[in-house]
A = this chain, B = another copy of it.
Amino acid sequence: MCSAQTGVRSISKQTLLRLPMYLDYLKRLQGEEAAHISAPKIAAALGLNEVQVRKDIAAVSSCAGKPKTGFETARLIRDIEAFLGYDSVNEAVLVGAGKLGRALLGYEGFAQFGIRLVAAFDRNADAAAMYGKDAPMILPMEKLTDLCRRMGIHIGIITVPAESAQEVCDLLVSGGVRAIWNFAPTHLHVPEGVLLQNENIASSLAVLSAHLKQSM
């Protein structure tokens, strides 16, 4: 009993978004050598409802908690990481080597999420020149689709201007990419089965601005 979950499991997007919060908290706990943790404690620390925490845990971990004791911290961490695929490696390409693109290229935290950036592309080949030394090579756009297909890349990161985002998106899709992380502030169309995750600065700022307006 208590084996790791396998196969597809239907899980809500909100639960998915909370999993990294749990992971962050649990890892900090582990630093304090807390071998066990209860749902009410997690809930209090993260500002959530305790039943919700229990349901989230049940959705990704097959291990039962013990009344009065709670859950085993280490096992919980392991199960969440396994569920999120942080223990395997997904290769990704990045398109658009502007300021944001280069900031992401330099980000060293991807590894902990099981993501490896294997190549970057830019319309402007000279962009590579403007770029530092510890740089992954920046390839011309023409090679994008072909490289994705050959290497079996499944993740594409879009950091080009809004105007060319759809075009880049289509190239990625035709290269077989199945998940797209879009930083361009525009709406993209993707075929069924391709996941589009928008990291929209405009939407975030909308929430901030509206709050300020109302609390004036």
Contact = CB atoms under 8 A, between A and B. Distances in A.
Contacts of A210: 11, 16, 83-85
A146 interface: no
B201 A109 contact: yes
A110 B205 CA distance: 9
Interface string A56-74: 0000000000000000000
Contacts of A155: 208, 212
A178 interface: yes
A3 interface: no
Nearest to A161: B109
Given A107-B99, A113-B202, A215-B178, A209 B90 contact: yes
Interface residues of A, number: 61
Contacts of A45: 187
Interface stretch (A20-28, A118-126, A137-145, A167-175): A20-28
Contact of A113 (B103, B189, B209): B209
Contacts of A106: 99
A154 B58 CA distance: 40
A8 interface: yes
